[in-house]
Chain A
Amino acid sequence: MQYFLSLCATGLVMGVIYALMALGLTLIFSILKVVNFAHGEFYMLGGYASYFLLSTFTGLHPLLAVFISGLIVGAIGLVFELIFLRPIHKGQIERPSEYAVLVTVGLSLFLMNLSLAIAGPIPRRPASFLAGTVQLGTVNISAERLIAGVCSLILLGLLLLIINKTWIGKALRAVSQDKDAASIVGINPLAINTIAFAVGAGLAAIAGALLAPIFSVTPDIGATPSIRSYIIIVLGGMGSIPGSILGAILIGLVESLGTGYFPDPTRALNYKMVYGLVIFAIVLLFRPRGLFGRKET
Chain B
Amino acid sequence: MTPTFARAPRVRIEWLVISITLVVAIAIPFYLEKVSLYWLHVLIIAYFYAILASSWSLLAGVAGQFSFGHMAFMAIGGYTSGLLGKYFGLPPLLGIPAGTLVAGLTGLAIGVLCLRFKASYLALFTIAFSEILRILIRGEYGITRGDQGLHLEMLFGATTSKLPYYFTMLALLVFSLLFMYWLVNSRVGLFLRAIREDEEAASARGVDVVRYKLMAFVITSMIAGLAGGFFAHYIGILTPNTFVLPQMGLVIAMAIIGGVESLVAAAIGGIIIQVSLEVLRDFDAWRLVIFGALLVITLRFARNGLIAPLLERLFGLGPRAEKRKKESDSHGV
Secondary structure call for the A interface: helix
Q: How large, as a class, is the contact surface on chain B?
A: 35 or more
Within 8 A of A (CB), among B110-133: 113-114, 116-121, 123-125, 127-129, 131-132
Q: Is the Cβ of B289 less than 8 Å from the Cβ of A277?
A: no
What 1/0 mask marks residues of chain B from 294 to 328 whose CB sits below 8 Å from any chain A CB?
Answer: 01100110010000000000000000000000000
In-complex Cβ contact of B118 among A94, A109, A230, A296 (8 A): A296
Chain A contact residue count (CB 8 A cutoff): 48
B246 touches A220 (CB 8 A): yes
Q: A37-B127, A116-B285, A285-B113 are in contact. Are A84 and B296 (CB under 8 A)?
A: yes
User: B243: shortest Cβ distance to chain A, in Å?
Assistant: 12
> Could you say which residues of chain B place their CB within 8 Å of the CB of A93?
303
Q: Given the complex, which residues of B lie within 8 Å of A109, measured CB to CB? A: 246, 249-250, 252-253, 288, 291-292, 295
Pair A223/B245 contact, Cβ less than 8 Å: yes
- B-side interface mostly: helix
Chain A residues 101 to 126 lying within 8 A of chain B, measured CB to CB, are 101-103, 105-114, 116-117
B166 within 8 A of A: no
Name the distance in Å between B237's Cβ and chain A's nearest Cβ: 21
Chain B CB within 8 A of A224 CB? yes
Say if the beta carbon of B256 comes within 8 Å of chain A.
yes
Known: A230-B127, A277-B132, A284-B113. A87 touches B64 (CB 8 A): no
In the complex, are the beta carbons of A113 and B285 less than 8 A apart?
yes
Asked if B224 CB lies within 8 Å of chain A CBs, one says no
Q: Does A276 contact B (CB under 8 A)?
A: yes
Question: Which of B13-21, B46-54, B134-142 is the interface stretch?
Answer: B134-142
* A103 and B296 form a contact (CB under 8 A): yes
B244:A296 contact, CB within 8 angstroms: no
Q: Is B284 an interface residue (CB 8 A)?
A: yes
Contacting residues, chain B, for A94 (C-beta < 8 A): 303
* Set B128, B196, B253, B256: member contacting A230, Cβ < 8 A: B128
Query: Which residues of B lie under 8 Å from residue A97 when comparing CB positions?
Result: 119-120
Q: What are the 9 closest A-B residue pairs judged by CB atoms, nearest first? A: A270-B139, A110-B292, A109-B249, A117-B285, A113-B288, A106-B296, A106-B295, A109-B292, A116-B285
A residues touching B (Cβ–Cβ < 8 Å)? 35, 37, 83-84, 87, 93-95, 97-99, 101-103, 105-114, 116-117, 220, 223-224, 227, 230-231, 234, 238, 267, 269-271, 273-274, 276-277, 280-281, 284-285, 288, 296
